Chains A and B, each alone.
Chain A
Amino acid sequence: MASSSSNLISLKTSDGTVFKVERALAKTMKTVQAIIEEADANIYMIPIHNVFSHHMDMIIDYYKLSVAGKSKEFSVEKLDNDELKDFLLAVHYLNMEDLFEVLTQAVADRLEKKSVGYVRKYFGIENDFTPEEYAAIRKKNDWAFKGDDIEPEEDEEKQEE
């Protein structure tokens, strides 16, 4: 199925679904835009790796809202942490500036009051400090760990073993 040089671009997600999107939307995806510009013949279909159809659904939602001037209404609340992370990486791959800002802010908002252990789990990182290093850092910045709206550190008990 050949795509004409019309206003629609065909994008194929990792799970095999084909989306026909407006050229204007494709332009917000710098990665896709680069592919279009490099190819001098007509492109039939642009595969977008790392992007799934549920990501494209949300991207299209965001695009429609922002065209209508309602980009503030876009919400990722219903996504759990892993889904949000995946979406962020998909948008990062597509190099979409505005949506990327929105998503990094959403992740920052979720991490804001969380404990160090939560942050580690979220990014899949190990604590690579020695107990002495960790204790020294914690002591130096102790004030940042107090306060009733901050989740307590579960790993504190572990450190004292």
Chain B
Amino acid sequence: MDIPIHVLFDIMLKLPAVSLVRCYSVCSKFKSIVSDYSFQLSYFSKAPISIVVLSDRHRITCIDSSQNLNPIHSSDHGSSSSCMAMRLQPNSNNTSDSSSKRIKTIHHHHHHQQPSSSKFVSFHIHKRMNLINSSNGLLCLRGSNPHSQSHYYICNPLLGELLNIPPAPSAPDRNLCFSAFGFDPKTKTFKILQLVSKSNKLVAELYQSPPHSGGVKTWSVISDVPSAKPKPNSSFDPSLNDALHWVTDGAISELIYSFDLNSNKFKSIPCPSHFVDDEYVSNISGMSVGVLKGCLCLCYVVEGKRFETWSMDKYGVKESWRMAFSIDIKSYCGWSPQDKHRPIGFNTCGDMWLMADSISQSSSQCLVSFSPETGVFRHIDIGGNASNIQVIPQVLSYVSIKHMVNIRRKQHQLQKLSSAQNYALGFNLFVLENFR
């Protein structure tokens, strides 16, 4: 080979994930580069945020965001429709200012289904699951079973690996208020927090995976739980900066709560300064927290009319809250976005993903992406036969769970999921340039 290895390494770091997988079969040298742990880590550190879909509660699919973000000629491919939205200037707080522009509504409907490149991979899971959240390349799932204990699993959805976790001590689904997971790649450990309501009090249970230097840790109860109850579905992307975040039904000073995964302590996060009094808060609906471009973000709807996203540029600093963008709700162009208060997540460029009812197929859902820069909503049909679609943002990683996490045989079992045929999912295939 006439190219030095490290030059080859640099080239491969820039290949999109699908091409990288093909590199396994080029020759044994390429295979060893792609399998090399430090290569996988470097690749992961540059990887864009993609999407994982759990459909029918047992089928998990990764949808890879292409690293080559091509400009908009994506209307050539697959079925897509776009719609320009009325966009408000980010720094204004009122809807009627002169800086808002009304842009013409554009609808493209393409009826020929061009099956485009299948940049996704699917696996079957043997039991019914719910998606919890993703953190640093790993995914957390919870077995869906209304009667028994909570069984959690850690998954690498790109490689189809599933790790069992010892079951949580407590009760069935109905008492579960909030659960989230955080993974620390440096220590190769992860923690799962579960907030459960028992006799009308909130109990916090934490699972800590064993550290490298021995010592068996499993579930323990955490004291000093805040009394403010978590709001359901209030956190679309809870894991950030080694902490988990959610919204509560408490007073303003306790609206956003966090759990620090290093100190195992609860702490409230200050709200933006314009959250002055209860009256303001009572005009707000659908508050949720997540991550936007590496910062904690807060999304909510004001007076049922305007959707706002705020970003906390400096973590923990109240003055650093800044409005990232806002949308006039009417300008969802007549779709009825489900759960419009709660985005699914934000991609690496800052475009927002949400679920909406599909225009072309009734009673099915589709994924929508909104670009704050252009004000364009783009919808992609993923409906068809799949019901109960849960979607979360995730950075896809090639590193096996074996290498990411310290596994203890007595507590954990690592299994390989069986791969699923793509056609049965009912996805209308799409080109990933639409994901923006």
Contact = CB atoms under 8 A, between A and B. Distances in A.
A160 B68 CA distance: 34
Contacts of B23: 119
A107 B19 CA distance: 13
B424 interface: no
Nearest to A112: B19
A14 to B, nearest CB: 16
A103 B18 CA distance: 21
Contacts of B18: 144, 147, 150
B72 interface: no
Nearest to A127: B27
A147 B116 contact: yes
8 contacts: A85-B3, A105-B14, A108-B12, A120-B27, A125-B27, A125-B30, A141-B24, A150-B18
Contacts, number: 94
Contact size range, A = 35 or more
Contacts of A145: 22
Interface of B is mostly: loop
Contacts of B16: 112
Contacts of B12: 108
A14 B29 CA distance: 31
Given A125-B1, A144-B21, A147-B119, A111 B28 contact: no
B68 A116 contact: no
B3 A147 contact: no
B64 to A, nearest CB: 10
Contacts of B3: 85, 88-89, 123
A134 B419 CA distance: 19
A23 interface: no
Contacts of B27: 120, 125-129
B1 A123 contact: yes
Interface centre among B3, B16, B25, B68 (most CB of A within 10 A): B25
Contact of A112 (B1, B28, B68): B68
Interface of B: 1-4, 7-8, 10-16, 18-19, 21-31, 68, 114-121, 419, 422
B422 A147 contact: no
Contacts of A137: 24-25, 31
Interface of A is mostly: helix
Given A104-B10, A147-B116, A148-B117, A119 B15 contact: no
Contacts of B120: 143
A29 B396 CA distance: 36
A77 interface: no
Given A92-B7, A107-B11, A112-B19, A150 B28 contact: no
A46 to B, nearest CB: 22
Contacts of A109: 14, 68
Contacts of B116: 147-149
- 3 tightest A-B contacts by CB? A147-B117, A108-B14, A144-B21
Given A108-B14, A119-B23, 6 more contacts: A88-B7, A89-B3, A119-B22, A123-B3, A125-B29, A138-B25
B21 A141 contact: yes
A146 interface: yes
A143 B14 contact: no
Given A89-B3, A147-B119, A148-B117, A120 B26 contact: yes
A89 B68 CA distance: 24
Nearest to B22: A144
Interface string A81-101: 000010011001000000010
A126 B264 CA distance: 53
Contacts of A146: 117-118
Interface centre among A112, A113, A115, A116 (most CB of B within 10 A): A112
A104 B15 contact: no
